[in-house]
Amino acid sequence: ATQEETLGFQTEVKQLLHLMIHSLYSNREIFLRELISNAADACDKLRYEALDNDALYEDDSELRVEIEVDADANTVTLRDSGIGMSRDEVIKNLGTIARSGTAEFLQQLSGEQQKDAKLIGQFGVGFYSAFIVSDEVTVRTRRAGEPSEAGIEWRSKGEGEFTIAEIDRPVRGTEIVLQLKEDAKEFADDFRLKSLVRKYSDHIDVPVRMPKVESAKDDDGNPIEGSDVTTWETVNEATALWVRPKSDLSDDDYKAFYKHVAHDFSDPLTWSHNKVEGKLEYTSLLYVPGRAPFDLYERDGARGVKLYVQRVFIMDDAEQFLPLYLRFIKGVVDTKDLSLNVSRELLQQDPQVEKMKSALTKRSLDMLKKLAKDDEAYQTFWNTFGSVLKEGPAEDYANRDKIAGLLRFATTHTDSTTQDQSLAAYVERMQEGQQKIYYIVADSFNAAKNSPHLEIFRKKGIEVLLLSDRIDEWLMSHLTEFDGKSFVDVAKGELDLGEIEGEEEKKAQEETAKAKEDLLKRVKDALGEEIQEVKVTHRLTDSPACVVLPENEMGFQMRRIMEAAGQ
């Protein structure tokens, strides 16, 4: 090695390393999954780049991952024949955390181990997980297509700095040597590693190989000294999981694959695996995660599916295949109907993609409908992603009925903050003669629940949806009806309870209104310009007065949002 240089990790990496080593201790075998996952990604990338530059294969087109153990030296080595990294790439990829928002995210971490262990699952911890089991990690790599002098050696003990040096490296791709910690010796064992490869990496379509030493036997069946031959044995299934028939796949297979595509630690809530043949030909495997990524609400947060064209990896986060309000869905789409040279720009204009998007949207909504049969799982989904799904009716007019069926609300039926009531359940509970679905929007659940506007409804036993999420008013302005019943904001306009009110009640109200004309005039004069109108109302049963917005007026929530935007 020439000219060794010592560099410091980005602060966030230091934090992450520290946290990881302490919080993932009981789960440390995942390091192998992460490193194999990266090696397989590197092979995918080479295959993709080589589509229009064959030379990158350098006469060795066999993409593979190899794992070797040296029990005496207490090391594990992973090698891949993938794309490799240049010097700049090594520094960027193994010295910083590139993902946006990570710095803020890390600041939220508390240092309480329990909580952090969960939070950390929201990243793909990736490469740095090598330090959970290693005292020192050495990476030797060369980018495909570069001369052998362009090899790079990166070395670190995971304590704040790493060294980097130029080396001669005749083979392309990356080799990672883990010097195992004293208490991680268990991993320097072929048998253990093989079972981990099968457990975590069966579904990866690149072969993961391990050496098998065989020696010739003499006539008595004893090994002949010096006759050892090493052959490489493929340990994993090595076929892309989504290509295999459903009947071959267990729940555990699907879950393991999810962790690979979604960079998530925890299990998905559900998935849907489909092969479509006909005018469009594609296979999709879509998942609903069990937890939100930290960047769910960030503009440039990761979204979309992994795109393959005829088994060749094309890109991560292909966001053209699902609408924004389904950005939490993870998975894979593999199609024959796109060219291998497709780019993000081309995807945007391709009518085939538009058709797939619409089919995958339906597929996702159906998957959620099915999930909704399991109350507990659906509640987890709703608590995690409900407010994202609420963007749906505005973005996807065509599917708004389906989306409406998936929404869950807090209502006066339970008076609990938990959003667990469907519109279908509301409709079932409607009073005789009730034709509308009533709702109220406020800044907080308590403000909604205690609003004087609800007095008459509570008295008459009519259920009202209690809305207090930021997005709720926006949602309601795009939901016009459900099951033929229109939505009414109880705080706006004339309150018409329709047939729920008897003729006599109506008459009595009109008489009261007449009798109080004088009072109304005095109040109006006193308030002057501040208001439009003063009316007698039957909305209230206990409170003396309340503020009401005209029918077509923007609500309080929207006003505030517009004001904040400087409108």
Annotated binding site: 34, 38, 80, 85, 93, 100-101, 122-127, 174, 344
Of 122-130, 244-252, 346-354, 464-472, the segment contacting Mg ion by CB under 5 A is 122-130
Nearest-10 Cα torsion for 240, 204, 65, 340: 50
Please identify, using beta-carbon distances, which residue of 38 and 399 lies nearer to ligand ADP. 38
Q: Which of 82, 84, 95, 126 binds Mg ion (CB under 5 A)?
A: 126
Q: How far is CA 304 from CA 2, 166, 317, 321, in A?
A: 43, 37, 4, 7
Nearest distance from residue 293's CB to ligand ADP, in Å?
12
User: Is residue 166 within 8 Å of 149, Cβ to Cβ?
Assistant: yes
DSSP classification of residue 10 = P
Nearest distance from residue 215's CB to ligand ADP, in Å?
32
Nearest distance from residue 435's CB to Mg ion, in Å?
55
Selection from ligand ADP, Mg ion, none that 48 binds (CB < 5 to 8 A by kind) is none
Residues that bind ligand ADP (CB under 6 A): 34, 38-39, 41-42, 80, 82-85, 93, 124, 126-127, 174, 263
Please identify, using beta-carbon distances, which residue of 263 and 330 lies nearer to ligand ADP. 263
Nearest distance from residue 301's CB to ligand ADP, in Å?
14
Distance of alpha carbon 375 from alpha carbon 489, whole angstroms: 28
Of 21-29, 120-128, 341-349, 452-460, the segment contacting Mg ion by CB under 5 A is 120-128
Distance of alpha carbon 427 from alpha carbon 435, whole angstroms: 9
Selection from ligand ADP, Mg ion, none that 20 binds (CB < 5 to 8 A by kind) is none
Q: Which of 234, 257, 184 is nearest to 31 (CA)?
A: 184
Site for Mg ion contains 174 (CB under 5 A): no
In this structure, the chain runs to a length of 567
User: Is residue 402 within 8 Å of 457, Cβ to Cβ?
Assistant: no
Please identify, using beta-carbon distances, which residue of 20 and 241 lies nearer to ligand ADP. 20
Distance of alpha carbon 546 from alpha carbon 548, whole angstroms: 6
Please identify, using beta-carbon distances, which residue of 90 and 479 lies nearer to ligand ADP. 90
Q: Which of 162, 98, 107, 101 is nearest to 130 (CA)?
A: 162
Selection from ligand ADP, Mg ion, none that 122 binds (CB < 5 to 8 A by kind) is none
Other beta carbons within 10 angstroms of residue 81's beta carbon come to 24
Structure tokens at 136: 């020192």
3-state secondary structure of 234: strand
Of 1-9, 32-40, 267-275, 472-480, the segment contacting Mg ion by CB under 5 A is 32-40
DSSP classification of residue 549 = B
Selection from ligand ADP, Mg ion, none that 83 binds (CB < 5 to 8 A by kind) is ligand ADP
Distance of alpha carbon 481 from alpha carbon 400, whole angstroms: 10
Annotated binding site for ATP: 34, 38, 80, 85, 93, 100-101, 122-127, 174, 344
Please identify, using beta-carbon distances, which residue of 28 and 390 lies nearer to ligand ADP. 28
Structure tokens at 292: 């939100």
Q: Which of 9, 17, 32, 38 binds Mg ion (CB under 5 A)?
A: 38
Residue least distant from Mg ion (Cβ): 126
Other beta carbons within 10 angstroms of residue 373's beta carbon come to 8
Structure tokens at 309: 């064209």
Other beta carbons within 10 angstroms of residue 508's beta carbon come to 13
Amino acid at 514: K
Please identify, using beta-carbon distances, which residue of 143 and 408 lies nearer to ligand ADP. 143
- Binding to Mg ion in span 333-362, by CB under 5 A: none
Other beta carbons within 10 angstroms of residue 532's beta carbon come to 12
Selection from Mg ion, ligand ADP, none that 392 binds (CB < 5 to 8 A by kind) is none
Give the interface with Mg ion as residue ranges (CB under 5 A).
37-38, 126
